Amino acid sequence: MVDRAPRKARVALPDLRRAPRRGRPPALTSRCALFLDIDGTLLDFAPTPDRVSVHPDVTAMLPEIGRRLDGALALITGRAIADADRLFPGLCLSIAGQHGLERRAADGSVHRHEASMRGIERLRRELKRFAARHEGLLLEDKGATFALHYRLAPGLAAHVHRTLHALLATAAVSAEWRLQPGKGILEIKPDGRDKGTAILEYMGEPPFAGRLPVFIGDDLTDEYGFVAATHLGGWAVKVGRGPTRARYRLPDVASVRPWLGTALHAAARADVSAS
């Protein structure tokens, strides 16, 4: 299924300098809809995306949380859906991939948002050449988006940002492309889609509709999701340090698993009490 992304659905990135005070998030309830980033939230970062390690507790916990929330659980990631599925084989979760450019709904239907591909071949060619010239750079071609990783060569960060800004400034590349900074990464993606728009779309569909949205993420790309969840009256949870618009915070990836476990047990107790 191919959808055209309406411009009005765009979630504005807030001014992080005006961030509120943050505390530990409360426990989930059975009326929540849970949205989870992957890298830096569920999984620790690795030198390259294909070398991340999936903790067995996470694999075991996700389907159980999904059952407790009547299916209102989705992963919201910059990875492609196929890549996320390889990390969690057999789970077939609701997933918004490539920052919402592709999205698998709870009913299994996949929505792909049509984006302008003008200039994509030139972008691919120039990015490959640039990455090949510098040891430590890794280009991840996701099809509709590109990610240039410089985690292995942090001294090249400024050079990477200057080069990609200059590349997008040329007339041969469509103005519908934009840069998205992250932790040790700079992505090029079509404009108009982000993690916030993906959450808004999920919240308009069963089994998410009418629930309290809770989004947990760690990076600048997740700020769009924080704004969307907060706008809908839900909770935004930042993992790790740094300025954020999220109301709540967990200190690191290692703290996410026990919090989810506590939330799972709380939901189970609530179900028993209600029965």
The residue type found at 207 is P
CB 163 within 8 A of CB 139: no
Q: Which of 85, 19, 28 is nearest to 268 (CA)?
A: 28
Count of helices and strands (H, E) across the chain: 7, 13
CB 151 within 8 A of CB 185: yes
* Edge-to-edge strand list for the sheet holding 138-141: 138-141, 146-149, 185-190, 177-182
DSSP state of 43: B
CA distance 159 to 141: 20
- Four-point Cα dihedral 19, 147, 234, 110, nearest 10: 170
CB 229 within 8 A of CB 223: no
Catalytic residue among 3, 37, 44, 70: 37
Determine whether 57 is an active site residue: no
Catalytic residues: 37
